[in-house]
Amino acid sequence: MKLASPQIKDGGAIPKALTCDGAGTAPTITWREAPSGQAVELVLVVEDPDAKGGFFHWTAYGLTAATGSGLAPDGQFPAGTKYGLNSAGKQGWTPPCPPEGDDAHHYVFSMYALKEASALPDGAKPEDVLAKLKGAVAKGTFTGTYKRAG
């Protein structure tokens, strides 16, 4: 499965507009080659493993795997998508905002294909979303980095 963003090259810097130092808008996300015959649901998880204890910036789930591909312009997933809580306690995207003086943090975008529906409610906690990822039949990922000036 392939996961990408036209704004973030895998391993490259996240544009300032997508961070707390800019407008903080969500990136556009694209996915292809989801195993539509084996999976029924797709789940997106964005994590900063460099933050103390890890920090979840975004979870989205309930996406149909039937088409095998999709587009979320400016983070707007198709109707019916549910959004979990991020580590800031809010639903949806929380932009990268590592402490000033830290080395660049890594933001890992991962999409999982599940063979069974997660049945997660809107606003699920990150740990509840992660618990549903065991046994995923496919995964696509890319990583962006961000370091604050100062």
We report the CATH number of the domain holding residue 47 as 3.90.280.10
Q: What is the pLDDT of residue 36?
A: 82
pLDDT tens digits for range 135-148:
999 999 999 999 99
* Alpha carbon distance 49, 98 (integer Å): 11
The residue range of the domain holding 133 is: 2-146
Tell me the whole-structure pTM to 2 decimals. Answer: 0.97
Note the pLDDT of residue 117.
Answer: 95
- Residue 20 identity: C
Say which residue, 18 or 135, is predicted with more confidence. Answer: 18
CA distances from 79 to 24, 60, 64 (A): 22, 12, 10
Based on the structure, what is the number of domains in the chain? 1
Q: Which of 90, 104, 110 is nearest to 3 (CA)?
A: 110
Query: What is the residue whose two structure tokens read 């407008």?
Result: 23
* Measured distance CA(74)–CA(39) in Å, rounded: 25
